[in-house]
Amino acid sequence: MYINGEWLEALGGERFEVTNPATGAVIGDAPNGGASDAQAAVEAAAAAFGSWSSTTAYERSDLLYKAWQLMTERSEDLAQLMTSEQGKPLKASRAEVKYGADFLRWYAEEAKRIAGEVLASGRADQRFIVLKQPVGVVAAVTPWNYPISMLTRKMGPALAAGCTIVLKPAEATPLCAMAVTQIFADAGFPPGTVNLVTARDPKPIGQVFTSHPVVAKLTFTGSTAVGRQLAGAAATNLKRVSVELGGHAPFIVFPDADPVRAAKGAAALKFLNSGQACISPNRLYVHSSGADAFTETMVERVSRVRAGNGAEDGVGVGPLVNEAAVAKVERQVEDAVAKGAGAPVGGHRLTDGAFADGHFFAPTVLTGVAEDMTIYREETFGPVAPIIGYDDVDAVVEMANDTNYGLAAYVYTQNLSTAFRAFEGLRFGIIGINDVNPTSAAAPFGGMGDSGLGREGGHEGIAEYLETKLGGFAI
């Protein structure tokens, strides 16, 4: 672990193994930290906050630029490590490393854009000045599905704002977190500014993060169930909270859209990271007029997607994170088929030959999906594309909104009015209009409802780490 500028073993002396989800092979290990380790990291961050928060924006910017440069230089090693530890195809790992580095470059600039304001007063002898200052020590919990970019999406703005940070990465992907933390150490960030605690059991760490009096903010990316628990505990202690949680994204193909183009976009997005993305489309609403062309294109394209070890050339879908993830996907698919859905492609586990020791599910297309099927209501987090036919154009937006989640949604149409009505009517934080990649370091990312609180990325992302202070001056 990395605490107060030093690489340390856990106080308990234990370590835990890290395995490759494609092969089951042990690829490394990490310290198995506990509450005492987390407390030491938090206290190191608190001790460093005074000096770090008093640095100039230009000093913080220079260090973030240096981290961006180092991350860019080490991008291939990071991508190879990610594929081994998380499983995604190497091409996708390379793209994620670049995306993760983009947050460092963007917030290197945003550090210099933090600004207050002067407000008018009704009194001639009074002036108001508003300052934006860092909130303090930040505790961050990150997920396994994007084990590098989700680190920098939190670290970049927190450090740019002048906060110090303690990271708890997912227990499945601590090696990526260690490699990223080494970059910040090599870039010259002062001791205590960046701290890393790894652990097999996240609960004791979370308890420290939500209860320690010097932690000012908790930021979490992960499941809605865990996010609720952490946010509730943090709220009890009046800590600021931002949580990016699950999704159940609709993908609407309107009758005027090109169904072939829409299917190509859906296929590219749905199977990204084996479907293990919170913005992955989970409900594909296709108007009956284009259903045949859409389905044929999906089936043709998905049947050509090769599953396997992400380190191999030509692999488009890697393993799922663990056995529980495979079992969840299998249950949803079996439920849908039992209730009348078709599975023209996939629909089963992959267990033979090279798949025997990994966690694989075949890239799958389901047709005839209906409201009584589990997959219609629950997030899948796997390589399954459920196609839902519809006829009533006026009702499809409300069908899409019929969920407690509100992270991402997608719309295909060639009509500007239809696009605007859908954009305004869909109750989701991110809407892709003929676009399956509506994300960027410069753009706000976050959802509504059970998909979370707050935004990451863009100008909004750094605001999450700033406190507003008002000065009233009598002159």
Active-site residue flag, 73:
no
CA distances from 187 to 33, 57, 67, 179, 441 (A): 25, 16, 5, 13, 21
Query: 3-state class of 368 per DSSP?
Result: coil
Q: What distance in Å separates the CA atoms of residue 67 and residue 76, rounded to the nearest whole number?
A: 15
Active-site residue flag, 278:
yes
Q: Spot the catalytic one: 96, 163, 278, 456.
A: 278
Q: What distance in Å separates the CA atoms of residue 152 and residue 148, rounded to the nearest whole number?
A: 7
Q: Spot the catalytic one: 85, 244, 379, 464.
A: 244
Pairing of strands 452-453, 240-244: antiparallel
Q: What distance in Å separates the CA atoms of residue 34 and residue 74, rounded to the nearest whole number?
A: 30
CA distances from 160 to 59, 166, 238 (A): 10, 15, 23
The enclosing H or E element of 166 equals: strand 164-168
Query: 3-state class of 91 per DSSP?
Result: helix
Q: Which tokens is 212 given?
A: 């320690």
Q: Which tokens is 434 given?
A: 């003929």
Query: 3-state class of 38 per DSSP?
Result: helix
The enclosing H or E element of 81 equals: helix 75-86
Which residues participate in catalysis according to the annotation? Answer: 244, 278
